[in-house]
Structure 1
Amino acid sequence: MTGAVGRPRFCPQWLELRERADDAARVPELLRPLGDRLAAVPAPERFGGTGGLVIRDLGCGTGAMGRWLAVRLPGPQHWVLQDHDEVLLARAAGRIPSTAGDGRPVTVTTLHADLADLTAADLAGTSLVTASALLDLLTRDELETVAAACTGAGCPALLALSVTGRVELTPADPLDAALSAAFNDHQRRTTDGRRRLGPDAVAAATEAFTRRGARVVNRPSPWRLGGPECALTERWLRGWVSAAREARPELAAAADGYLRRRLDACAAGELGVTVHHADLLALPGPAGVPGPRSG
């Protein structure tokens, strides 16, 4: 994620632990309208006239989006990996596939920068903006900046895996609803003067892009945890309960017993978790030209 004061940092181990669940949740269906749009852009406008794609990955983390998407798009491609964390940038740069889905080359550069400063001019010549698990961390002003930059440049945006505020655990527990509401409060918290969008991010992004003339398509992209994902389920569960307790300290005593019960069920292979996310594709018109609005 990007790097002003107050922005979260994520350890590579967490990002790598969640990658398999992320990949299973992503929505390949959105690649068809995206591919149609990318194919419609005249080749001389792309990749310095070579006919390739220039893709900027905002808050790239360890590069998971690039690993998933590069092999599903035609090449040549040039990826610009942007993050505030130089350790993650270095890790990501060496792990993007070297060839695209059609065997043509993929190249990579890194950019240590804050997306709060992103402008349409920065995206000149960019074919696609991507991000994964980023929207819910943004403030409304930051989201407006991203939407304005993408639509101003006529650049599509594929924004994946934003939390929607719904979590389902099986078997059910009487505390599920209270902890889920508390976690959502935590996601919307204000830190260093920054109020995050949290589970309101998808609706806010849809409105921001649509207001600027883009056609927006949303599709559900839920994590489905349990069974072989026990390590991820346990890590997610501990973080989920901890965040809920932080938001509502009065839940602390009950949350301790809840966490023990849930961890025992996880270890026994008896816990199922669905964490609801959504993937969003925004298709602006060409630079400076309003696109078709979505219903």
Structure 2
Amino acid sequence: MIPGAGPAGRPAPRPGERPAPPIPGEPAGEEGPEGEEAPRYAPEWLRLREGADAAARAHDLLDPLRIRLANLPGRAGGRVVHDLGCGTGSMGRWLAPRLDGAQHWVLHDRDPYLLHFAAVGAPRSAADGSRVTVETRRGDVARLTPDALVGASLVTASALLDVLTAEEVGALAAACAGAGCAALLTLSVAGRVDLTPAHPLDGEIAEAFNDHQRRGGLLGPDAVSVAADAFAAHGATVRLHASPWHLGPGDAELTAQWLRGWVGAAVEQRPGLREPAARYLAARLAECATGELRVTVHHSDLLALCRPAGGAP
């Protein structure tokens, strides 16, 4: 899968999410909780995509989130924010400085290596200069219990929903509803990629990739609609907003890495594509190197405002 971010917007699951096939050149995993191997995804890839992620996230969802947080009762130590599958912490670096008030971020991931990067790189101040503190929790976010979110003001995640099953998304919505907290879940794969100039194989590669995203019962491109329904069923107000990557000549390194992962996943899903896909990839990488290629990778962001705990409006 794509190194840290699946081609149509879905990052390769970071530890704490379902693992995609190994990425050539990625460091090996180590034993995780309950004797499982925790796959490790290169911080270099997560660093490479961080700028595109930041530019893509839906700023229009921030105002309703700020209003919700401002209307919550004060809490010693500030608002508690849980970042699920945090990777190297890019969501916190983007969001914490855009929110007022003291914040305490709880960073969840299955990989201690990535948790270290996230904690070290976390912002220390909010938009108004208030203090931001962090703690880390190692574990699989797909097994998150409602008790883990007690006292939370906000749950965040990046590129998480599409690597979960419908049952896991339902459990996440129920946990957020039980805690009465908001959820900002960004950069979920939308199942669409636009490439310029066009190529006859674009559609078949995209279709095979989308099928790969749905393997093993994962939601892939269906994740946002399933999540919206799940949160709405618990009485949450749900807002959706597009959050596409727009990749051009200035993003050649990121685009090349994305292409390799996108085509590689398609070939894994449909081995008969191997030879034409190899020629396709070579042509696309050449266009990328000369600055001719432009790619829009479509994602969706979701903001769910659950009813506050205690039944307040």
TM-score (norm: length of structure 1): 0.92
The answer to whether the aligner puts 1:255 opposite 2:286 as a matched pair is no
Query: Against the structure 1 CA distance between its residues 6 and 25, is the aligned structure 2 distance closer, same or farther, given a 3 Å change threshold?
Result: closer
Shift in Å, 1:247: 0.4
Query: Against the structure 1 CA distance between its residues 271 and 181, is the aligned structure 2 distance closer, same or farther, given a 3 Å change threshold?
Result: same
Sequence identity, in percent?
A: 59
Correspondence for 1:83: 109
- Amino acid in the other structure paired with 1:36: I
Q: Quick check: 2:16–2:108 contact (8 Å CA) kept in 1?
A: no
Q: Note the aligned Cα RMSD (angstroms).
A: 1.5
In 2, the alpha carbon distance for the partners of 1:137 and 1:254 equals 28
Q: Quick check: 1:284–1:290 contact (8 Å CA) kept in 2?
A: no
Kindly provide the CA deviation profile for residues 25-53 of structure 1, in whole angstroms up to 9, marking residues without a partner as x: 0111111000111111111xx3xx35x21
Q: Quick check: 2:16–2:142 contact (8 Å CA) kept in 1?
A: no
Q: Which segments of 5 or more consecutive residues in structure 2 lack a partner in the other structure?
A: 1-13, 21-38
Shift in Å, 1:4: 7.6
Correspondence for 1:207: 229
Q: Quick check: 1:115–1:142 contact (8 Å CA) kept in 2?
A: no
In 2, the alpha carbon distance for the partners of 1:116 and 1:161 equals 18
Query: Against the structure 1 CA distance between its residues 19 and 6, is the aligned structure 2 distance closer, same or farther, given a 3 Å change threshold?
Result: closer
Q: How many residues align?
A: 282
In 2, the alpha carbon distance for the partners of 1:142 and 1:262 equals 36
Query: Against the structure 1 CA distance between its residues 200 and 66, is the aligned structure 2 distance closer, same or farther, given a 3 Å change threshold?
Result: same
Query: Against the structure 1 CA distance between its residues 119 and 287, is the aligned structure 2 distance closer, same or farther, given a 3 Å change threshold?
Result: farther
The answer to whether the aligner puts 1:58 opposite 2:80 as a matched pair is no
TM-score (norm: length of structure 2): 0.87
Correspondence for 2:128: 102
- Amino acid in the other structure paired with 1:185: D
Q: Quick check: 1:212–1:290 contact (8 Å CA) kept in 2?
A: no
Correspondence for 1:37: 68
The answer to whether the aligner puts 1:144 opposite 2:144 as a matched pair is no
Q: Secondary structure at the match of 1:217?
A: strand
Match runs of 1:230-269 below 5 Å: 230-269=252-291
In 1, the alpha carbon distance for the partners of 2:18 and 2:266 equals 23
- Amino acid in the other structure paired with 2:43: P
Correspondence for 1:170: 196
Q: Quick check: 1:133–1:160 contact (8 Å CA) kept in 2?
A: yes
Kindly provide the CA deviation profile for residues 143-202 of structure 1, in whole angstroms up to 9, marking residues without a partner as x: 111111001111100000001100000000110000000000111112xxxx21111111
Greater relative contact order, per chain length (Cα 8 Å cut-off, separation 6+): 2
Q: Quick check: 2:125–2:131 contact (8 Å CA) kept in 1?
A: yes
In 1, the alpha carbon distance for the partners of 2:93 and 2:149 equals 22
Structure 1 runs, 4 residues or longer, greater than 3 Å off: 1-9, 288-291
Query: Against the structure 1 CA distance between its residues 2 and 264, is the aligned structure 2 distance closer, same or farther, given a 3 Å change threshold?
Result: closer
In 2, the alpha carbon distance for the partners of 1:151 and 1:94 equals 31
Q: Which segments of 5 or more consecutive residues in structure 1 lack a partner in the other structure?
A: none
Q: Secondary structure at the match of 1:270?
A: coil
Correspondence for 1:224: 246
**Higher mean Cα deviation, 230-239 or 122-131?**
122-131
Shift in Å, 1:120: 2.6
Q: Quick check: 2:17–2:163 contact (8 Å CA) kept in 1?
A: no
